[in-house]
Amino acid sequence: MRTGVRIDEKGAIIVSCECEKLRPLIYEMAQQMELIMGTHDDEKGDSYKTCDLEYLEKKFDEEINEYRNEKRHGVKVREAVDIAIVATMLRYRHFQIVLKQAEERMEKGEDGEEK
């Protein structure tokens, strides 16, 4: 498996992973996540990229609590997908912060001085 990170011409961070085979479990979850996220595209779009990080963290806690409090297995499946969606959004946001910090360190150089 090969992975790579690059920044495209619009400044978006692109992470690629070339896998010979994607596990069926992962593929199925990704499909379910996309179906649910797609229902919100017109209303929310990619708002997770700019919304308050604390909002996403609160949403994550809410989704976990909804999962824990649900007794019906069918609804638990949906709640598990919702958790994965918010976790993916949080991962994206924190990864952006890590990359920004790395860029700032590279600009300063190892000695901490601006180049």
Burial class (CB in 10 A: 0-12, 13-18, 19+), 68: exposed
DSSP state of 10: T
The model's confidence at residue 92, banded by pLDDT at 50, 70 and 90, is very high
The model's confidence at residue 113, banded by pLDDT at 50, 70 and 90, is low
Strand, helix or coil for residue 57: helix
pTM given for the model = 0.76
For residue 76, what are the contacts with CB-CB under 8 A and spacing of at least 6? 67, 70
Task: Read off the pLDDT of residues 40-78 as tens digits, 9 standing for 90 and up.
Answer: 999 998 999 999 999 999 999 999 999 999 999 999 999
